[in-house]
Amino acid sequence: MDFTTRCIHGAVDKTHNTGAVSVPIYQSATFAHPGIGQSTGYDYSRLQNPTREHLEKVIANLEEGTDALAFSTGMAAITALMELFSIGDHIIASEDLYGGTVRLFDNINKKNGLDFDYLDTSDLAKLRSLIRKKTKAIYIETPTNPMMQVTDIQAVAAIAREYKLLVIVDNTFLTPYFQRPLTLGADIVVHSGTKYLSGHNDTLAGFLVTKETDLSEKLRFIYKTTGACLSPFDSWLLIRGIKTLAIRMKRQEENALKLAAFLSSQEKVKKVFFIGLPDHPGFEVSKKQASGFGSMISFEVDTEATAKQVLEKVSLILFAESLGGTETLITYPMVQTHADVPIADRLLRGINECLLRMSVGLEDADDLIEDLRQALS
């Protein structure tokens, strides 16, 4: 079945027989038992809810995994994921991660006894050199946020298999429409469902998708114990958003290609970070492991004054955090998404006062280009 069709019909809902085309919102905290020792399959919505279950089946289907768990936010998903590890465990992670993930790792997980090393995970020799006896997992974003570094998932997975390590991939930027890490050797996929999966900037959500049943069982136990499950109504919003995922991703990528070309031609733009440009270092790897380039663009302008001018002068494009929605958003990483990353680390990664990040939406590309043109003038 084609991916577009699976976005709409990716799971069969057998919980009702009304013929409703839209999955019902089961807005119930608890479920009655037919008798002692008997269950309808649902007991309490923290454990499972029919609306959330439908959504999870859709996500598992799209990522070609065995199970998906829907959380209240992307950070809630990563927080639960870290409960797989014990005091003293070591994790190797991409150095250019979303700032909230770095904040969690460095301020919560380290406090609780986990150890982290950060590097450009496209450097396979250096990655291998960091593996030690207590290493348990490799955590990567590809492409990364916001510098758009690309990691070869299959190559990392091959190294991980040698040392019996988990491979965890944050697939938020490309979604399963363009990239399916589990088919490339990853064990767990992470999503901020708030972004492209929802697609409308109207709800928060997160997902973990597993390749093997044993990981699913461990995470389900953590899930029901810690309790950061996605509500029935938010699950319904995600189900609705995913129905248009394929057509949104295709149009947004088309727009991004045009905007990246425009930005590359501008005198005040010094560098464009977009994996769809042939001169991007990860272009060939991207073509090998993904079917598209997505619609996230970062670009560096000539001065801090120019960066602030763009942020203040855009009118169609919105100066706001987040990404992946129908609206084009522009973000200032140094004061928004990565404000909590230590300054020295941030600058070392290229996140400076001249860097802007843009999530390209569904507007007409010419209108977006004109807005950027006047903002840069």
Domains recognised in the chain with CATH numbers: 3-242 (3.40.640.10), 247-376 (3.90.1150.10)
> What is the mean pLDDT of the segment spanning 113-136?
98
67 is catalytic: no
The pLDDT of residue 348 is 81
**Given 42, 98, 196, 223, the catalytic residue:** 98
User: pLDDT for 173-223, tens place per residue?
Assistant: 999 999 999 999 999 999 999 999 999 999 999 999 999 999 999 999 999
52 is catalytic: no
195 is catalytic: yes
220 is catalytic: no
**Given 6, 13, 46, 287, the catalytic residue:** 46
The pLDDT of residue 61 is 97
The pLDDT of residue 344 is 84
What lies within 8 Å, CB to CB, of 96 at 6+ separation is 120, 141, 144, 145, 146, 147, 149, 349
User: pLDDT for 76-107, tens place per residue?
Assistant: 999 999 999 999 999 999 999 999 999 999 99
Token code pair at residue 166: 């988990």
The pLDDT of residue 14 is 62
257 in Cβ contact with 293 (< 8 Å): yes
**Given 195, 248, 346, 357, the catalytic residue:** 195
The pLDDT of residue 103 is 95
d(C-alpha 145, C-alpha 147), whole Å: 6
**Given 67, 152, 170, 187, the catalytic residue:** 170
The pLDDT of residue 232 is 98
